[in-house]
Amino acid sequence: MDRTDHEATLRSRKAALRRQIASGRQEKSQLERDAAARCTRDAVLSLPEIQMAGTVAAYLSVGTEPGTRGLVYALWKRGTYVLLPLLQPDNDLDWASYEGPGSLAPGPRGLLEPTEPRRGVTAVTSADLVIVPALAVDRAGRRLGRGGGSYDRVLARTGAAIPTIALLYDGELLDEVPAGPLDQPVRMVAQPRDGIIRLR
């Protein structure tokens, strides 16, 4: 198989898995999503690395993603400096600080974004822990995102010693996720039932 065929096959496998995961998420009721968000929030907040973190880079969930608003608010209330992303036209992510629910405004693609001054794409390198979205992750830490590459760029900027964690629903930690050379791994996942799982 030549490189072009390989890339096409990889894209096709990723697209099929995205559809499968998205369909499963659509089937969850709002009650199920809310309960999952609380369990995941509590698991992440109990993590020793997050209790020691002065700065955490996180994100605000949209649609059927595992909910993060309670987690972001809880981190901020306990005195953690929270960075949230601002989507740029090239799909890269700028960052600004979260200063409570009143510091957010509508952004592109249905996102809520911080209204504080932008700190640049490299601001994420100051984080002591980075929380990222994912549709699925495998046991080697390979992560399936939405396909825009935003968080692969973020993870590529994150130092090797910095804990990175993807938030999933139960059943979304898989044995294998299709991945290419630009796909960046995460070091942990958080799920409602199983809590924090450290990956190899």
Query: Domains of the chain by range and CATH?
Result: 3-198 (3.40.50.10420)
Query: How far apart, in whole angstroms, are the C-alpha atoms of residue 103 and residue 86?
Result: 13
Torsion sign over Cα 56, 168, 40, 63: positive
Q: pLDDT tens digits for 56-105?
A: 999 999 999 999 999 999 999 999 999 999 999 999 999 999 999 999 99
Strand order from edge to edge, sheet including 136-138: 143-144, 136-138, 173-174
Looking up tokens 């880079």 gives 57
Looking up tokens 């209330």 gives 77
Q: pLDDT tens digits for 149-179?
A: 999 999 999 988 999 999 999 999 999 999 9
| pLDDT at 188 > cutoff 70 | yes
- Output phi, psi for 121, to 5 deg: -65, -25
Query: How far apart, in whole angstroms, are the C-alpha atoms of residue 86 and residue 115?
Result: 9
CA proximity to 123, closest of 167, 82, 160: 82
Bridge partners (DSSP) of residue 84 are 96
- Output phi, psi for 119, to 5 deg: -115, 0
**For position 1, what pLDDT does the model report?**
56
* Both tokens assigned to 5: 């065929």
Q: pLDDT tens digits for 126-138?
A: 999 999 999 999 9
